[in-house]
Amino acid sequence: MLELGFLGTGGAVSTAERDNSSFLLNKESDLILIDCPGSPVSKIRKLQSNPVKIKHIMITHVHPDHIYGLPSLLHSLMDVKIRICVFGSDKAIRFCQDLLDLFHLQSKKAGSRVEFFPLEPEATFSLLDGVECTASENPHHPSSLGYRFTFHKAGLNLVYSGDTPIYPPLFRSAENVDFLIHDCSAPSRFFKQFPQLSTMHTHARDLGRYAQEAGIKCLIPIHFFGELDYSVSEIEEEIGESFTGKIIVPKDLQKILLAEEKSKEA
């Protein structure tokens, strides 16, 4: 089984329906957590997964809505004898270590053992059996990285942009991937109203155009701004102006069987 589960799909400002963006990759009950905002244990359990099975945590950057739940998660697991590997840029790793030290969560008395792995862009490394990850450059923040996951046994790959403006090298590296999860914070009309947004995030119309040029097979927009008034149908319509592949607009606590979705595309 290879399952993608969304703990949250929203931006920094949560709504009643969408919390901060984070998701879980579940491979035969071994878990990879991507970013860690609030209430991670509760959300993981709502996805019918066990937090004790977390093997790796991938941090995209150190903005609060992507990292503030990390102390809570590790505090919840401190009495369990497990090893958790935390990956991120050098800046992100140092921030995580300082954050955990504030709560004395790296005590030798803790049963859980946290190991940190600072990454450079283009670093490729093994996560689980048959799962390879490559870090990628991202201009959103000095601590930012995106990630490409290759599941060799399933024969599929998935790229996550992290929060980002349109960044052509990311789309070049993601050409023809099975799944692209990409920042899609709002419809284009808000980026016209607030041009500075384009320096940090991506709007739906641009995402559709670049995803089409890259030959993305299944596009999953995420990180919807909660402080702006629009519906996700507007997001889907703008993407669909250019993009002819499959679009999945996820909801919080939605699960997707990746191999099953790939077989539908074939």
Which residue ranges make up each domain of the chain? Answer: 2-265
Q: Which two three-digit tokens encode residue 160? A: 């996550």
**Can you tell me the distance from the alpha carbon of 17 to that of 27, in angstroms, rounded to the nearest whole number?**
27
Query: Is 35 an active-site residue?
Result: no
Q: Which of 25, 21, 60 is nearest to 179 (CA)?
A: 25
* Interval 152-176: pLDDT, tens: 999 999 999 999 999 999 999 999 9
Please say if the pLDDT value at position 140 is more than 70. Answer: yes
Find the catalytic residue in 19, 35, 65, 183: 65
With a CB cutoff of 8 Å and minimum separation 6, the contacts of 194 are none
Selected residue with higher pLDDT from 51 and 108: 51
With a CB cutoff of 8 Å and minimum separation 6, the contacts of 5 are 23, 24, 26, 47, 49, 253, 254, 255, 256
**Can you tell me the distance from the alpha carbon of 164 to that of 141, in angstroms, rounded to the nearest whole number?**
8
With a CB cutoff of 8 Å and minimum separation 6, the contacts of 19 are 7, 8, 9, 10, 37, 38, 39, 43, 252
What is the chain's length?
A: 266
* Interval 46-93: pLDDT, tens: 999 999 999 999 999 999 999 999 999 999 999 999 999 999 999 999
For residue 266, the model assigns a pLDDT of 59
Single pTM value for the model: 0.97
On whether the CB atoms of residues 142 and 120 are closer than 8 A, the answer is no
For residue 124, the model assigns a pLDDT of 97
**Can you tell me the distance from the alpha carbon of 73 to that of 75, in angstroms, rounded to the nearest whole number?**
5
For residue 151, the model assigns a pLDDT of 97
Q: Which of 99, 55, 69 is nearest to 7 (CA)?
A: 69
Q: Which two three-digit tokens encode residue 178? A: 């099975």
CATH of domain 2-265: 3.60.15.10
**Can you tell me the distance from the alpha carbon of 87 to that of 146, in angstroms, rounded to the nearest whole number?**
11
For residue 173, the model assigns a pLDDT of 95
With a CB cutoff of 8 Å and minimum separation 6, the contacts of 129 are none
Q: What is the average pLDDT across 117-122?
A: 97
* Interval 218-249: pLDDT, tens: 999 999 999 999 999 999 999 999 999 999 99
Q: Which two three-digit tokens encode residue 263? A: 């077989």
For residue 264, the model assigns a pLDDT of 81
For residue 226, the model assigns a pLDDT of 97
Selected residue with higher pLDDT from 108 and 225: 225
Q: Report the 10 Å Cβ neighbour count for 241.
A: 12
Please say if the pLDDT value at position 265 is more than 80. Answer: no
For residue 107, the model assigns a pLDDT of 75
DSSP 8-state symbol, 199 = G
Q: What is the average pLDDT across 129-157?
A: 97
